[in-house]
Amino acid sequence: MLKSWFGEESGNDSRGAQRSPEAQSKIDEATSKLALYHYESCWFSGKVRATIKALNLSIELRDIHVDRAHHRRLVAEGGSGTVPCLTIEKDDGSVQWLYESSDISSYLESRFATDP
Ligand SMILES: N[C@@H](CCC(=O)N[C@@H](CS)C(=O)NCC(=O)O)C(=O)O
């Protein structure tokens, strides 16, 4: 049910943004530095997953209900157990923990809605 609200159901033929292989490869390299802490039934997480799908991004999903180590790390390093939360690994190795679904979606759209 929740999945269908966000177009996540299997068999959905919407493939999201389409790019040249070169552009997709650059985006994939950038998104390898990102991870989304979430859980399946969280409505706010679903909104962000829908943005990820629409932009055709490959972002590691860390479900805090499936793996409690993800939850422990979210609380210890992010400072709050609230999901969704996007981690952004910077070039200097530091990690930004970005909370708030609307801020995460805005960040992804501003960074990836146009080709690099
Ligand atoms: N305003 C937040 C709401 C996020 C939120 O309420 N997440 C819930 C799950 S759907 C949560 O993590 N609640 C547990 C907590 O706040 O510790 C957003 O848009 O991201």
pTM for the whole structure: 0.89
Summarised one tens digit per residue, pLDDT across range 7-22 is 554 433 457 889 999 9
Summarised one tens digit per residue, pLDDT across range 12-59 is 345 788 999 999 999 999 999 999 999 999 999 999 999 999 999 999
User: What residue owns the CA closest to ligand 1's atom 15?
Assistant: 82
Residue 99 contacts residue 85 (beta carbons within 8 Å): yes
The CB of 82 under 6 Å from ligand 1? The reply is yes
CATH topology of domain 21-112: Glutaredoxin (3.40.30)
Domain ranges, ordered by start, for the chain: 21-112
Question: Bigger pLDDT: 114 or 68?
Answer: 68
> Using N-to-C axis directions, what is the helix angle for 43-54 and 101-112, rounded to 10°?
10
The CB of 103 under 6 Å from ligand 1? The reply is no
Smallest CA-to-CA distance from 36 within 1, 78, 79 is with 78
